[in-house]
Structure 1
Amino acid sequence: MVKVDPDGTITLTLTFPWADIKASYSQALKAKAATTEIKGFRPGKAPLEQVAKTLDQSQLYQDAFKELFLKVYPQTLTHHHLDPLLPPDIKPLHSKTGEDWQI
């Protein structure tokens, strides 16, 4: 959704389906697992479930979201013929686990 304020500020509301977030999270976890060392396993060979327990979940979700955002944001700008002068000010509107996220 695109909203243009009288002062020229453009507000985009983007929705990210949970399935996309979950897939991106899995990719972020696999990337971290490749370099994470866990006792009893060769580097990068520990089960993903064990790796996930040792990592900061919020950081993994941030990495996953960043990856998705960097794909979707330029596409949205092109689709709506927008050429912003400043970088986006990102504010989460809804970001619960298991539900679609909105910014």
Structure 2
Amino acid sequence: MKDAIDAMPPFRRVTGPAIRLHIKATLRAALNDAIEQQIITFNPTAHVEIAPVRKPKALVWSDVVAKWEQTGERPSPVMVWTPQPTGSFLDFVADDRLYAM
């Protein structure tokens, strides 16, 4: 069976820690239902350990804009605007047809 899996084309995606927790929760719920229906006697997901999920820290754009312009890399996956840049952006796009969105 391992040879058949190895021969498959590489279509698999790597899942992140949050998705792994969702998968485990779904499996746990399904297997708990199977226990209630007396199909199985224990839930093997109770023995699965998954690394804890840490949410990325949100950084304010105005604090790191200079570094971003030099390197081109976002300092964090979650970036937020302060009210002043948000207002400037909204003023700039006020005449755009998608402004209401």
TM-score, length of structure 1 as denominator length: 0.28
Structure with the higher fraction of residues in strand conformation: 1
Structure with the higher fraction of residues in helix conformation: 2
Which structure has the larger Rg?
2
TM-score, length of structure 2 as denominator length: 0.29
